[in-house]
Each structure stands twice: as C-alpha cells, then as structure tokens.
Chains A and B, each alone.
Chain A
Amino acid sequence: MDILIAALVLGVMGLVFGLVLTGTSKIFAVPSDPKRDAVREALPGANCGGCGYPGCDGCADAIAAGKAPANACPVCSAEAAAKIAEIMGAEVPDASNRKVARVLCQGDCQSAKQKFDYQGIEDCNAACTVNDGFKSCKFACMGLGTCVKACPFDAIHIDPEKKLPVVDEEKCAACGKCVAACPKGVLELQPQKQEVALLCRNTDKLKAVMDVCKVGCIGCQKCAKACKFEAITMVDNLPVIDHEKCRGCQLCAEACPTGAIKALKPRQVAEIDQSGCIGCTICAKNCKFGAIEGALKQPHKVNAACTGCGVCAAKCPKKVITMKDAVAPRDPKAAVEAAPAKPAAETAKA
C-alpha cells in the first residue's frame, strides 16, 4: 500500500510540474525567427566561442540579425558554411580562400640578438613592458606563448628549440584571436594558398637589421628585382607581395639573401605531354625563364630552369601542359636564349 502512495504522490508531483512547465512555456514563449533557427541548426553546436559570440546561439542570433557575416563561424565544415550562406542568401564561401594565421618572425634564439636575459612572467605582454621586449629587434616575436593561450583550437605551439610559435595550418580556423592577443603584432591572417610570404616586419634597412637579426628583411630589394611578374613593390623598406600578380615562381625566395621571404609550397614544374604537343612555340614565347626548348612543329620540352609559374600551362592552346611537384632543384643555368620572349609575349597578347 505504501509503495502505491509513494508512486501516486510522485506521479502527481511529476504531472503537476509537467503541466506547470507546459504552462510557463506557453506564457514565456519567445517568438523566434525561423531563419535564426535554421542557422542555429547548421552551426556545429560546440559552443566554442571561436566566433566571439557567447556560444552557437549567440552566433546564430548575430548572423540572422545581419550583425555578423554568414561565415562568422570559423570552425564549421565547408558544407555547413555553404548551408548557412544559402539560408542567409549570401555568396557561398570559396574553400580556396581559406585563411590561416602566420607568424611573421623567424628570429629564434640563434638568429635574433637578445638585449638581456628575461626572467619575468611567462607572458609576451609582460615581457614587452620591460624595455620593449628582450630581443634587440623591436618587431621580434617574444615567443612566450600569449598566442598559444589565446588559441581556442590548439593550433599554435611553441617550438621548444627555436622558442617561436608554430601554427598548425590544418587546425587553424582563422578566428583571429592570436592576432588580437599578440602585443607585437607578429601574427597575421593570410590566405593559405599563398605561395610565398615575407616572414619579417622590420622596417629598418641593411646594417640596422643585420645588427639585430640574421634572418630579418634588410630591405635590399633583391626580391623586387628578381620578380618577373612585377608583383613586389617596396613599402617602408619591406617588400609587399601582390598575390593577384604572384604566380608562385618563388624566385624572390631564392633571391633573398637572409631568407626573410620563404616559399611556403614545394616548387612545381611544367610537363609537356609529348604526344599532344603540336610545336606551336606559344609556351616558349611566353616563358619568362627560358625553360622551354624545341623547334617549330616539333614537340617541346621543359628544361631544369622551369620555376613552375604556370604561365605556359595557361597559354597552351592544346592544354597539354600540366603542373606537377618538382623532383630536382631548379638550375637557372639550363635556361635557353630567351631574347625574343618579351616582344613575342606582347604580340601574343595583342
């Protein structure tokens, strides 16, 4: 009998509470935007806060209200991002435009000179308050891991030997928290597909840079001169690479005497499908590096001077030129006489 009373009392309690809940949910019903609910559905729901809003609900609200762009969520998959963009009627984001954070300093303990031995709080902000940091270069990365702590995706680690942060580009979601956290402004969001990058921010020149760091940009302009596509201009003694013009030939990285410009991808070389080539010489005329040999009406060949800029592949009327990873290092001496290249290229354009 007791057990029945217990079950009955608790059952009634549950029933009453259930009714109360139903009632309150009716009273306190908040009319919600169906668009907002659809966006919330598409978001990952991990409440990581990478977007800067309190959880996925906050992010969905901001997207639906138009306060945040459709791609505000830095972590969701490409499909989810496309779905949100579709709901909001925005352009579907292009995965090839993916950005990642890059560390624009290579001054490790060997190459960058130190002003003094820093023994204070393990934090870049703290280190910067002491005589503007312990490295002689005022643009240098402190390497104490303020960015590592700021990263919500575990994508940055300090290299134990170099004492510099390394970004795991696969994990990086381009949320920009590290960029905001760095007191020196060493981190920058750059397109992942970028072929070369200048990994130095020192605006001084020549000796002033060499005195403080072995791998800094000395502003010698060798890269700007080496670039055949006029993609590099010098601003404040630093080369600025126009990535619209850059074809990824990586000659700037080769020309750089200190290694401040780094090639981020393996070099590509062109390969001509011998059976399909009709020997029209358009590729050879357009090659700025004298890397294509062969007589008229004979199948052409690519020599070791190829930089992998891909101009020939774009110009080939028969589409028989493909780009592949280079196996041997480039040999500039292999270039053939490329004297007619420039005027020919211009006539081809016309």
Chain B
Amino acid sequence: MNTYFVILVSSLLMNNFVMNKFLGICPFLGVSKRFETATGMGMAVTFVMTLASFVTWLVNEFLLIPFKLQYMQTIAYILVIAVLVQIVEMALKKVSPSLYQALGVYLPLITTNCAVLGVAILNTDSGYNLPESTFNGFCAALGFTMSLLLFAAIREKLALAKMPKWMDGFPGALITAGLMAVAFQGFGGLI
C-alpha cells in the first residue's frame, strides 16, 4: 500500500510529468487556452496512459525480455500506443458518442504525446510490476491533467490582463509555465 501512496504523491507533486520531467509540453501549451478543452484533453490522456502502461508492461515482459529485444523498446511501445489510441477512439465512438464528441480531435493527437511513451519507458526502467505500472500510468496522467488544468485556469485569467504587447499571448504563457515549474521544484525534497 505504501508503494502506491508514494507513486501517487510523487507523480502529482515531485515527479510531475509536465512540471518536473518536462514531458508532454506540446499539448500543455497547445490546448491550455480554454479550461473546457484542457479538461477533455486531460481525460483522454488519463485513459490512454493507464491502458498504455498496462499493455506495454505485458509486451515488455512476454515479448521483449524473452527475445532479448529491449533495444526495440521505443518502436514496440509506439506501436502499442498507436493501436491503443485507435481502439479507444473506435470504442468511444460506439459506446459513448457524447464523450467522443467532447474529446474530438484531441483523441488521435495523443498518439504523438511524448508523455505517454515517457510513462511506458519509465515504468520499465523503474522495474514496477503490472499493478504498479498501471497505477503509475494513471497517477502520471493525473499529474499531467492537474498541471494542464492549473495552467489553463491561469491563462484564462491572463487573457483579460493588461499586458505589454511583447508579453501578450505566448511569451506570457511561457513565462507563466516557467514560474509554475519553479514552484513545483519546491516539492523536490518531500520524499
């Protein structure tokens, strides 16, 4: 139980994917303009990262290690993620068209999200077992969603602020992201 608690707290605060590991920055900046789209993106990423952690652990354990193919890790994992996203997309379309509508174009975009590949590779490197890997994937995605929502909320407020022209838009957003990362570094010594 202790391990799971450590995984949860660490992926939310100390090893946050966006703020500490700097993974998944593309959607972090791309879909954080509005809170609603950020929520949708967070949900989709959580779904895919959890499933990807589960399946990549199986692939690693029963295919890559027996055949001594660990050097093919990246390509094998990408294959898994791409297929997963496709399946999730098809299943969602059938089972819950409304959620499919809400996620829209962000669903296929997750295929190229480096946070998903990152969590799979980190799981393997940390030597987690199957439930730990899956839980770590879920928590990492939760951390990603948290930073995305925080950032989106700040950006929505910033959009109304009176900013000098050279700071308006992306420059301001990037500086905000930097300050947020600095704040998250403060959690560093917690564990």
Contact = CB atoms under 8 A, between A and B. Distances in A.
B191 interface: no
A303 B21 CA distance: 79
B93 A10 contact: no
Main secondary structure of the interface of A (DSSP, over half): helix
Nearest to B93: A30
A28 B90 contact: yes
Interface string B65-81: 00111001001100110
Contacts of B175: none
Interface stretch (B23-31, B43-51, B98-106, B132-140): B98-106
Interface in B81-128: 83, 86-87, 90-91, 93-95, 97, 101-102, 104-105
Contacts of B80: 17
A125 B86 CA distance: 43
Contact of B69 (A5, A123, A126): A5
A350 interface: no
B160 A123 contact: yes
Contacts of B94: 27-30
User: What is the interface of chain B mostly: helix, strand, loop, or mixed?
Assistant: helix
A128 to B, nearest CB: 14
A326 B59 CA distance: 78
Contact of A122 (B79, B101, B162): B162
Contacts of A55: 104-105
B69 A28 contact: no
Interface bin, chain B: 20 to 34
Given A5-B67, A121-B160, A122-B160, A13 B104 contact: no
A55 B79 CA distance: 28
Interface stretch (A18-26, A89-97, A109-117, A311-319): A18-26
A266 interface: no
A126 B79 contact: no
B69 A13 contact: no
B94 to A, nearest CB: 4
B67 A14 contact: no
B161 interface: yes
A196 B67 CA distance: 79
A47 interface: yes
A6 B80 CA distance: 16
Contact of A121 (B72, B101, B161): B161
Contact of A54 (B86, B93, B95, B101): B101
B63 A9 contact: yes
Given A10-B72, A126-B160, 15 more contacts: A2-B68, A5-B67, A5-B69, A10-B76, A14-B79, A24-B87, A24-B91, A27-B94, A28-B91, A29-B94, A30-B94, A54-B104, A55-B105, A121-B162, A122-B160
Interface of A: 2, 5-6, 9-10, 13-14, 17, 20-21, 24-25, 27-30, 47, 54-55, 57-58, 121-123, 126, 149
Interface of B: 59, 63, 67-69, 72, 75-76, 79-80, 83, 86-87, 90-91, 93-95, 97, 101-102, 104-105, 159-162
